[in-house]
Structure 1
């Protein structure tokens, strides 16, 4: 069983949940930092709701990638403007275009632990100079299986200090790093907004 299979199975529950969630303030901050009409890559875009929809309404051009065919099918059915949705593993994604922003909200923790280190260099290469990277993450090195809507999902992450050190070595400036982020009913262990120098 893979996360892709699990997401395909929970699609209806996911749609009901995501269509009623807020756009968190760090996502609004991320959009505010990027020039109007910029380009954004959404890693693990899901159904496009509410994030791609919000960014589209802000006049950004979005490329959304997700492994789940059902998620992408649902995303395409919403009718979001200025967006291209692709069924794709992020590690297989390539683009000649350099993005003004990359967002990975609740997606990096599904990547295999042995490949987590690759994420940051790949994002750095995909970003235009001065581009922004917003992501959520765990604080401690971890790898586990958990359930969501009755289906099993794989999760992993590297430690917060290791990720910060790795990003600084690559050439990222950390705009902010928020531990134990809470907004209304939403909470995240760690939220990071970084900028490519």
Structure 2
């Protein structure tokens, strides 16, 4: 199940929906992203899961949000949580929406991809972002692979090195605004907030 972590999420979707913290510890990063984009901007939430709490908060802030996830079971819950929401069943590795957004978020989803798959995502991020658009994603703290048990399902995670992430971002014309390693106030998340340069 290394390549298809979303299949594990199909199995644990109900458990995840009940167990996922709703206290929005991600708020400082989401607010900083919002500060960099126009009011009412359109955001792509990659690996949106059930939509709670990140999708919910972005909607509350008046943003137009498109949620994408490869787990059908997670999106079924998302559609119940947000009957008027916009959700697409799609693998982020095959992203081709024909649309550019003011911001892309890949929070605790991007790091489920294998190293080479992560490398191949950066051109897709650029393709789907407007000039000066914002990219927010979480990664591991250092290069390596790991497995984490969630309700009986062993979920794969991987990370590139900090130096390689910076190189890949630079190659696609991104500037790193903020990089925090294992933020103790955000569940130990390692966070990247980046801005696409104008062409």
TM-score norm. by structure 1 comes to 0.92
Tell me the equivalent position of 1:187: 188
Rounded to whole Å, the distance in 2 between the matches of 1:113 and 1:80 is 35
| Contact 2:47/2:68, CA 8 A, preserved across alignment | yes
Give the Cα separation in 2 of the matches to 1:145 and 1:23. 23
Cα distance, 1:168–1:80 mapped onto 2, change above 3 Å: farther
Distance in 1 (alpha carbons) for counterparts of 2:33 and 2:188: 18
Deviations 1:12-52 (A, max 9, x none): 22111225332411112112221111110111000000001
Match of 1:66 in 2: 69
Gaps of 5+ in 2: none
SS in 2 for 1:4: helix
Q: Could you give the per-residue CA deviations for residues 48-71 of structure 1, whole angstroms, max 9, x where no partner exists?
A: 000011001111111111111010
Alignment partners' CA distance in 1, 2:42 and 2:90: 18
Whether contact under 8 Å (2:25, 2:185) holds in the other structure is no
* 1:12 lines up with 2:22 in the alignment: no
Q: How far, CA to CA, are the matches of 1:71 and 1:61 in structure 2?
A: 20
Alpha-carbon offset, residue 173 of structure 1 = 1.0
SS at match of 2:23: coil
Greater than 3 Å deviation, 4+ residue runs: none
Q: 1:96 to 1:14 in 2, by over 3 A?
A: same
* Secondary structure, counterpart of 2:184 in structure 1: strand
TM-score of the pair, normalised by structure 2: 0.91
Per-residue displacement from partner, 1:54-107 (whole Å, max 9, x unpaired)?
A: 0011111111111110100000001265x4111110122212221000001101
Task: Name structure 1 gaps, 5 residues minimum.
Answer: none
Query: Alignment partner for residue 146 of structure 2, among 135, 144, 158?
Result: 144
Which of 11-20 and 33-42 deviates more?
11-20
- Residue 10 of structure 1 aligns to a residue whose secondary structure is helix
- 1:43 maps to which residue? 46
Q: Give the structure 2 partner of residue 106 of structure 1.
A: 108
Change beyond 3 A, Cα 1:110–1:137: same
- SS across alignment from 1:183: helix
Matches within 5 A, 1:144-183: 144-183=146-185
Q: 2:141·2:182 contact (CA, 8 Å) conserved in 1?
A: no
